[in-house]
Structure 1
């Protein structure tokens, strides 16, 4: 299974917590779309397998016009083998999803929306400097449901000042609206973001990890009661609505990343494009690929396997670790996992090592303890 990720590096305004690559100037949008299409042509031989998923991320892909999207889709169709039933997801901001816009998207090859709600409360949206308001958050879901069966919303917990009651109200709102898929993330404070500066200056209270963990516990309980499966740490889906793009990523499938700052992975190499719009456009239009590339060592592959699989409901297969990396890696994994099993943060069920409910919020730290860092086999 192979996928293509297309990064649309434009936003109307900068969210205070975001450290993704984007520009709030849309002046080069036309040139950017031409460059995206040109990169697809230049790299078509890198992805010869049938394409099962296409994901438009950003930035804000919903800023693209129907003409710009069609230009990209035509390039994809003419240069890649697209499966008969691909999952094609487009990230969208609520303020972009007018009835007319959603109707246009529904008539395009896009068959799944990922809507950046983040919160249904005005105070949260203002703190994060989101471009939409609470009314638009609700309205966008109502409009999307009229044209898309398959869609997801993003919600953020652990926001400074967010009580457990407010987080529960956010979840209840999403469940009342019968959203088939939720992606829920703890707010993180990234360097060089406006949020980091506000916290350092005392304008915004610091993020409380204990509060975020309580929110996460509420999230697990509420979604389980409502029939969602937590198939990956941050993702919750009703049966039949798991994201194929997410599943492929967390199971180590190859993908081609197009656009400035986009990453690619083929199982042996990882590459990433320059995170600068002008440099990206100029290089691509000159026929040059502006990326850096690294060959993954066995140690790199093992660590990535542990990191990605441990986040999934399926967990880590001990047999697969031995088959892919060798007996010594299998023994190292079991040795490192032992203390977390004794603390009931990990469990072993026959061939599988997984994260318990108690350990889920700590899963990234647990994964790091299973990494091979200072040893070589």
Structure 2
């Protein structure tokens, strides 16, 4: 990926086709450690903020855009009940590990899958086990992901009782054809009813909208944006579809529907359009893809709002001294240079806890503590970072040099006490995450993209963002007299555009 210097919107020659990843990426997998020995490696003495993540890997239907760890399940299934028992047992097991209890969490996130597939009794059992085994007195935000078909008042009340403060649900799109291509089986009536009902139980609601789908037009996207605004939630999240990791089924659906992939220039155009649409409608960005409904948007000194933040992302991976503790199948614990992933197979995760009272783990050791994480993730994703959170003396000259390049190119500004993104920088925030990463991490991302590109079932758009330029010799055209220019209706704007080009 090359940086395009000068006055241009297309600051990079290509767009990265992945939008989020765990950091650090580099490291060596090892099977030398079990659950307890792996956690004995974790040095949490410098950890400032911690997040808990709890994974519920069951869904009533499988969406074709989703590649997360999940499987089919229905409310009341014995497999889900056994999983809940195993999850509560994992809380008890890990509560006896000093590295897990040394730092109380500031945020909790229930993800999936569909946590709302749980019964109200199972929700209360999980909550009771967490409160019994961990100090949750410092939790500032507790989020749960709902699927609207399985959302009921009884479940919402149970989640609120255990401490949940924020409800999220996956809406994805209002467009009936894309909902069919995504295998979304909930009705829009169910979606509207769930959004209204969740507002009675939680102070904060949010939902996801996807865009950049094959064949999507600006008109179709504008309809989705306006309907998302009209839903009335406090925030909403807009994600470009990560087609590189979606299922082959989605791409088959696109092909059968005659939907061709968008180029990444087209997707960037949708992103810029989205930002102006939302800002003109009373919203302001609060991270790379989230918008908050504000009474006076755009009045802050930075492009990205500081009046609201997604606390989970703020407290688990924005800085080198944040960490994450995961519970459930495939859940990740990440502290310093160590990443510990729970057993990815749901059945063996449950069986291992039932039979051996332990969890099989996969351990990865990075080259060192990721002191640069605040610049790599925190700044691009959250829009700013205080300089006192950056240990400059421990960050490589290569990364600091790249930061200086971004400042010179107008994507980042030095505000004295902090670095902040400009609107131009936000447009390319994913590329900034890549560009500020160490060389080894960039190589791993490049290899991942190359490996996914070998899948014949995936059909992605052209990623080059370099503007088309004439290939033959350029002939300088004579300037028209000013009066002639005015008669054509061009006005002085044409001169500005010519200079900008």
- TM-score (normalizing by structure 2): 0.68
Q: What SS does structure 2 have at the residue aligned with 1:130?
A: coil
Whole-Å separation in 2 of the counterparts to 1:84 and 1:301: 25
8 A Cα contact 1:113 1:152, kept in partner: yes
Q: Is the 8 A contact 2:214 2:254 kept in 1?
A: no
Candidates 263, 277, 285, aligned match of 2:346: 277
What corresponds to 2:456 in structure 1?
none
Q: Which residue number corresponds to residue 153 of structure 1?
A: 207
- In the alignment, is the contact (CA less than 8 A) between 1:160 and 1:206 conserved in 2? yes
CA positional deviation for 1:49:
1.9
CA distance in structure 2 between the aligned counterparts of 1:3 and 1:20, rounded to whole angstroms: 20
Tell me the residue number matched to 2:195: 141
- Aligned pairs for 1:202-241 within 5 A: 204-238=259-293, 241=308
Does the 8 A contact of 1:346 with 1:359 survive in 2?
Answer: yes
1:345 corresponds to: 411
User: How many angstroms does 1:30 deviate by?
Assistant: 0.9
Cα distance in structure 2, aligned partners of 1:115 and 1:192:
19
Alignment of 1:153-172 (within 5 A): 153-172=207-226
For residues 51 and 182 of structure 2, the distance between their equivalents in structure 1, rounded to whole angstroms, comes to: 31
- Contact 2:106 2:315 (C-alpha < 8 Å) held by counterparts: no
* Cα shift at 1:75: 0.8
2:68 alignment partner, SS class: coil
- Which consecutive unaligned segments of at least 5 residues does structure 1 have? none
Match of 1:364 in 2: 430
Where 2:431 maps in the other structure, the secondary structure is helix
Q: CA–CA distance in 2 between the matches of 1:166 and 1:173?
A: 11
Offset of 1:203 from its aligned partner?
Answer: 5.7
Q: Write out aligned runs for 1:164-183 (5 A).
A: 164-183=218-237
Q: Distance in 2 between matches of 1:201 and 1:170?
A: 23
Deviations 1:78-121 (A, max 9, x none): 11001165422110112222445434444443221011111122
Counterpart in the other structure of 1:244: 311
Contact 1:125–1:134 at 8 Å: present in 2 too? no
Residues in 2 aligned to 1:16 and 1:351: alpha-carbon distance in whole angstroms: 44
Judging changes above 3 Å, is the alpha-carbon distance between structure 1 residues 21 and 95 closer, same or farther for their aligned structure 2 residues? same
- Residue in 1 that maps onto 2:357: 287
Residue pair 2:65, 2:246 contacting (<8 A) in 1 also: no
Q: CA deviation at 1:348?
A: 3.1
How far did 1:200 drift? 7.2
Larger Rg: 2
Instruction: Kindly indicate whether the alpha-carbon contact (under 8 Å) linking 1:307 and 1:364 is maintained by their aligned counterparts in 2.
Output: no
d(CA) in 2 for partners of 1:322 and 1:112? 33
The yes-or-no answer on 1:256 pairing with 2:294 is no
Q: Who is 1:305 aligned against?
A: 374
Greater mean deviation of Cα atoms: 289-298 or 34-43: 289-298
Most deviating of 169-178 and 115-124: 169-178
Residue of structure 1 in register with 2:111 after alignment = 57
CA contact (8 A) 1:47 1:256 kept: no
CA contact (8 A) 2:330 2:344 kept: yes
Structure-2 separation of matches of 1:222 and 1:250: 29
Q: Kindly state the Cα deviation for residue 316 of structure 1 after the two structures are TM-superposed.
A: 4.5
Selected match of 1:2 from 47, 50, 62? 50
1:144-168 Cα offsets, whole Å, 9 max, x none, are 2233221111111112233222322
Q: Could you give the per-residue CA deviations for residues 272-325 of structure 1, whole angstroms, max 9, x where no partner exists?
A: 112111111112221222111223333x61453333113334434556434461
| Alignment match, 2:80 | 29
Instruction: Give the conservation status (yes or no) of the 8 Å contact 1:3–1:245.
Output: yes
The answer to whether structure 1 residue 94 and structure 2 residue 163 are counterparts is no
Say if 1:6 and 1:85 are closer, same or farther in 2 by CA, change over 3 A.
closer
SS of 2:59's equivalent?
coil
Q: Which has the higher contact order (CA 8 A, sep 6+)?
A: 2
Correspondence for 2:166: 112
8 A contact 1:265–1:271 mirrored in 2: yes
Q: What is residue 63 of structure 2 aligned with on the other side? A: 15
**Which structure shows the bigger proportion of residues in strand conformation?**
1
8 Å contact from structure 2 (residues 235, 293) kept in 1: yes
- Matched-pair contact (CA < 8 Å) for 1:8–1:57: yes
Secondary structure, counterpart of 1:311 in structure 2: helix
